[in-house]
Amino acid sequence: MLREIEKQGLSGLAMLVVLPAALLGLIYLAFGALRRGEIVQFVLLVLATVFVGVLLAGFLVVNPNEGKVLQLFGDYKGTVKRPGLRWANPFYTKRRVSLRVRNFETAKLKVNDARGNPIEIATIVVWRVVETAEAVFSVDDYENYVRVQSEAALRGLASGYPYDAHGDEVDLVGHTAEVSKRLQSEIEERLTQAGVQVLETRISHLAYSPEIAAAMLRRQQATAVVAARQKIVEGAVGMVEMALARLKADQIVELDNERKAQMISNLLVVLCGQREAQPVVNTGTIYQ
């Protein structure tokens, strides 16, 4: 695998002084030789002037967080990362590669979760190039490669988890941070050969597909109602138990089994009912 070679290049400011001065000097000498009739010297000075003019093409500007990949007739020679005006061999081809942090959002992908339910999911990927040689020469188009591999990793991840779950099972809705970290490691593993580092991934869109969204919403609502009623019943039973224990401890009233059963029934109706209880004054007796 081709590894990055960092080149410094010559100072562009120094060459900006030397080359124009040499070019002007050679032009002056060439006209002097022409006036004196020294044709051979004139031709040599013209050739030297052309050579210095070609050297002027070696200037390159490197911006902060940017690299210039240098090639000579297809052979990789190195990457200039030092910002500023630099000078290198004018016959080098220079390709700009951004080293800045970049991000993009994948398209909303329609996939099936671990239970076979169709869902829509999208993610934001934050990345940057860290190996310019691999980014340029190991893959055809590293930007497109990042997008395609990110979407492929997202599809594989989404199919391995349920949309929502109960208990300790990891799901897409309730464990977003854990799922995002797993997604980051999978994408980074795919992009290593392209010289790309993944800094962060975050789920940006997650929903059931429109064709089942209404049905799944009703299921979630029913599940929430059942869970809420379970909590209410547990709390009501605890309150009834506490009330009976308190009555017995304080010896406020002696209740036989039949009166306890009626009291428990009335308290559960009051505590578990969805409407406010209507008081009823009993002037009779429960015994016939």
Q: Which two tokens stand for residue 191?
A: 């992009």
pLDDT band at 183 (very low <50, low <70, confident <90, very high): very high
Bigger pLDDT: 283 or 120? Answer: 120
Render pLDDT for 242-262 as a digit per residue (tens, 0 to 9).
777 777 777 666 666 666 676
Rounded mean pLDDT of the chain? 83
User: What is the mean pLDDT of the segment spanning 154-176?
Assistant: 82
User: What is the mean pLDDT of the segment spanning 80-91?
Assistant: 90
User: What is the mean pLDDT of the segment spanning 23-35?
Assistant: 87
Which DSSP string corresponds to 171-225? -TTTTHHHHHHHHHHHHHHHHGGGTEEEEEEEEEEEEE-HHHHHHHHHHHHHHHH
Most confident of 31-35, 92-96, 248-252: 92-96
> Which amino acid, 140?
D
User: What is the mean pLDDT of the segment spanning 15-39?
Assistant: 87
Q: Which helix (H) or strand (E) holds 85?
A: strand 84-87
pLDDT for position 145: 93
| Nearest Cα to Cα of residue 267 among 245, 247, 228, 239 | 239
Burial grade of 25 (CB within 10 A; 0-12, 13-18, 19 or more)? middle
**Residue ranges of the alpha helices (H) in 37-97?**
39-55
Is the pLDDT score of 269 beyond 90?
Answer: no
pLDDT for position 266: 66
Is the pLDDT score of 197 beyond 90?
Answer: yes
- pTM check: above 0.75: no
pLDDT band at 154 (very low <50, low <70, confident <90, very high): very high
Is the pLDDT score of 148 beyond 90?
Answer: yes
Bigger pLDDT: 18 or 227? Answer: 18
pLDDT band at 281 (very low <50, low <70, confident <90, very high): low
| Nearest Cα to Cα of residue 184 among 166, 211, 208, 202 | 202
- Pick the range with the lowest mean pLDDT from 40-44, 122-126, 127-131, 246-250: 246-250
Is the pLDDT score of 213 beyond 60?
Answer: no
User: What is the mean pLDDT of the segment spanning 179-198?
Assistant: 91
pLDDT for position 244: 74
